[in-house]
Amino acid sequence: MTCYFIEATAFAKLFVREQGTEPLIRLMESVEDNRKLIAASTPLEVYAAIRRRERSGGIAAEDAAAALESLRTEAARIVQEPLNPAVLEAARQLLDRSPLRWPEALQLGAALTAREIFPGTEIVFVSSSPALLEAAKAEGFRAADPAVEGALEENPEPPDA
């Protein structure tokens, strides 16, 4: 079975339209909720990003309100990896061996912990952060950027094909 760990930079695309929104929506519609994972901190990260865009004039107040309501609904449907001591330790270890910032390490640490909890399950790490995609690959994940054509297909073609 394949599960998708949706990191905050990708999850945000569900609530504010940008490159990669449509493929991510298709993924969310085609995959059962119990096969979609996020870190427990992801809804707060996305909430903050929406509020920042609203304050900067990037989105209207009514659009921000609608996005925040949709965020609450969608986040409640998805499996959330709690920020427990195992996740924090995995994030600390990532900081020792990679140039990630702490919020990025927390996201990837949650995915690493989820992979330990679900042995034998392939977890695809979905992100729009080049640094996180690179780090996830280094940790043995199949990594996918929703903004890259075909990246979220069940069996994507190798990049050199």
CATH (domain of 31): 3.40.50.1010
Q: Taking a C-beta distance cutoff of 8 angstroms, is the pair 127, 143 a contact?
A: yes
Q: What is the mean pLDDT of residues 28-44?
A: 95
Q: Taking a C-beta distance cutoff of 8 angstroms, is the pair 81, 113 a contact?
A: yes
Q: What is the pLDDT of residue 98?
A: 93
Residue 158 binned pLDDT confidence (cut-offs 50, 70, 90): very low
131 secondary structure, DSSP code: H
Q: Is residue 151 part of a domain?
A: no
Q: What is the pLDDT of residue 151?
A: 86
Indicate the number of domains in the chain: 1
pTM above 0.85, yes or no: yes
Q: How far apart are CA 64 and CA 143, in angstroms?
A: 29
Q: How far apart are CA 126 and CA 145, in angstroms?
A: 6
The domain in which residue 90 lies consists of 2-144
The alpha-helical segments, DSSP class H, found in the chain are: 8-11, 21-30, 42-56, 61-77, 85-97, 102-117, 130-138
